[in-house]
Structure 1
Amino acid sequence: MSILERSHLKIIQEVAREGSLTAAGLRLHLTQPALSHAIRKIESQLGVKVWRREGRSLVLTQAGEWLLLLANRLLPQFELAEKRLEQFGNGERGTLRIGMECHPCYQWLLKVVSPYLERWPKVDVDVRQKFQFGGIGALFSNEIDILVTPDPLYKPELTFTPVFDYELVLVVGPQHPLRHLKFVTPEQLSGETLITYPVPSERLDIYTQFFQPAGIAPRQQKQIETTDIMLVMVAHGRGVAALPRWLVDEYATRFELYPLRLGKNGIAKQIFLGRRETDEDIQYLRDFIEFAASPRENS
């Protein structure tokens, strides 16, 4: 069976380029006898004549001409592939797959991703929200490289880095009777429609840290995918929402919104970036986390 090897293509290309065995041998770091032996071996392995002699010159046969075209097309791709693999190994190129367990964090992520891509022009970013096994499972199964989450689940082989602090606040519209209060209690919201992202209530801090400890629930929960629509609904008195204060401040120029503290002491939160410990040596991944955690205006 004929087996075509990359070394065959390289020899064919160099002999054709240099026009003599001596010159081609110098480029290939082979003596002329060694190169002559390699040429005979190529033809033997492939079972076809690649060259024919015309005087003292070697001329490509029809099969040789076709192999030369193949060599000119494939060898640069091999070289590029090797360069890319070296870059991957050095953490210089790749796709950073970011998983999101924090719906309102997309606006924050935009502030980080844009300058990061300028710093790493050979790295792409892919943002994913839905995972087959949840955010932690997605890290373990290599679906994602970084998990953005307000609720880290510490497991062996995973590392979580806090990147910024924020306060979770209640947001009400301009006609809401509670809008002038400094803080609200669970009892005051028992008759409200709570607008949330499409996340189970057991994963929402306003339930786990505000309503449930008081044994109280809102009258109704309404789930909405996008922040813009959620805040339009709040501004028009269709319900209330719990969001990071920095996000509410960002939308203050577009909607008339009133952020209220949840309870007298408020609810303090952090955003974490989780990664696999085995990825510590991937430079562009490590740099993203360091860049995201560096002081900047997150609100």
Structure 2
Amino acid sequence: MIERNHLEIVREVDRSGSLTAAADALCLTQSALSHAMKKLEQQLGTPVWVREGRKLRPTQSGLYLLSLANRLLPQFEHAEELVGQIARGQRGSLRIGMECHPCYQWLLKVVGPYLEEWPGVDVDVKQRFQFGGIGALFGYDIDVLVTPDPLHRKGLVYEPVFDYEQVLVVPSDHPLASRPWAEPSDLESETLITYPVDAERLDIYTRFLVPAHSSPARHKTIETTDIMLQMVAAGRGVSALPRWLVEEYAHQMPISPVRLGREGIDKQIFLGLRERDVDVAYLQSFMEMARETTWGLI
């Protein structure tokens, strides 16, 4: 009935948009591809696509098969990759998912020494996930998730890596720069610059502004840390970032960290991985090196 090649065809047609392009990508003739899918449709008793002009639109059955392909094929590919690496005497691959935008600078300090110690491990970093960070772990799109907000699920393990303080970042000549801490009301006249993350997942909102029923005059999102801090230094707004990161950049540009509230906002960075992978040697080594690298950041 449903075979792996059917799922590969469904996924590739969705990616490329046509049977011809999908056949080319899969190194098949269009005739062979069409024959395989026609046979499947006959067996299932339902069409997978309907044609609308020159385009193919997936039916309800087609959408289900596409969802199945997106879940199962990465696991097949991951299994084949690992078995092939074992056969070739290689150690594996480490795909790191990032849910912590400012952690890239920290990650760079970990990856360099890690690559030297594990020359047989390929490292890749991913930020965008089709089903979110947890979905990427369960779907075998990534092997380790770097996150400040772990969502605990059965089958996943989270290890704390280091503690840090979330602070407000202001220009060095800003009135708040000389204050011991900032109050939520201080931001009501400010432009708040954040990463493009939902407000419900931003501590500056959930742990500072919302409890005080406050909001900034304007909220602007920027993807890159460098541009964000340059905007702050130019007086175009304020932001909220880890203190260690702000202090590192403060040597290069006129910015200052300010505590968020009298008590401040304490956070932790976690590394999440699948429970079944806990004993993998090169993953264990990455966790250990990650913890050792944090001492210069605290």
TM-score, with structure 1 as normaliser: 0.69
- 5 Å-filtered alignment, 1:115-126, equals 115-126=113-124
Shift in alpha-carbon separation, 1:241–1:131, aligned structure 2, 3 A: same
CA distance in structure 1 between the partners assigned to 2:172 and 2:270 by the alignment: 33
The secondary structure found in structure 2 opposite 1:178 is helix
Counterpart pick for 2:91 among 90, 93, 102: 93
Q: Deviations over 1:141-163 (max 9, x none)?
A: 11100000000111111000000
Are the structure 2 counterparts of residues 244 and 191 from structure 1 closer, same or farther at C-alpha, using a change threshold of 3 Å? same
- 5+ residue gaps, structure 2, are 1-81
Rounded to whole Å, the distance in 2 between the matches of 1:227 and 1:254 is 13
Within the candidate set 179, 193, 196, 1:195 is matched to: 193
Q: Distance in 2 between matches of 1:140 and 1:152?
A: 14
Deviation at 1:86, TM superposition (A): 4.8
Per the alignment, in what secondary structure is the counterpart of residue 297 of structure 1?
Answer: helix
The 1:97/1:179 distance shift into structure 2, 3 A limit, reads: same
For residues 1-299 of structure 1, what are the structure 2 equivalents within 5 Å? 84-86=85-87, 93-294=91-292, 296-298=295-297
Tell me how far apart the structure 1 counterparts of residues 253 and 221 of structure 2 sit (CA, whole Å).
20
The amino acid of 2:285's aligned partner reads: D
Deviation at 1:95, TM superposition (A): 1.3
Equivalent residue of 1:293, what SS? helix
State the 1:269 CA deviation.
0.3
5+ unaligned residues in a row in structure 1: which ranges?
A: 1-80
Shift of 1:82: 8.4
Amino acid in structure 1 at the alignment position of 2:297:
N
Against the structure 1 CA distance between its residues 86 and 297, is the aligned structure 2 distance closer, same or farther, given a 3 Å change threshold? Answer: farther
Cα RMSD after superposing both structures: 1.7
* Structure 1: distance between partners of 2:83 and 2:137: 27
Whole-Å separation in 2 of the counterparts to 1:87 and 1:124: 14
Q: CA deviation at 1:214?
A: 0.6
4+ residue runs over 3 A deviation: 81-84
Aligned partner of 1:297: which letter?
A: G
Residue number in structure 2 paired with 1:39: none
Residue type matched to 1:202 in 2? E
1:169, 1:276 → 2: CA distance? 31
How far does residue 187 in structure 1 lie from its aligned partner after superposition? 0.8
- Cα distance in 1 between the residues matched to 2:171 and 2:239: 10
CA-CA distance at 1:87 after TM superposition: 6.7
Report the CA distance shift for 1:144/1:84 in structure 2 as closer, same or farther (over 3 A): closer
- State the SS of the aligned residue for 2:149: coil
Do the aligned residues in 1 keep the contact of 2:247 with 2:256 (CA within 8 Å)?
no
Distance 2:245 2:116 in 1: 24
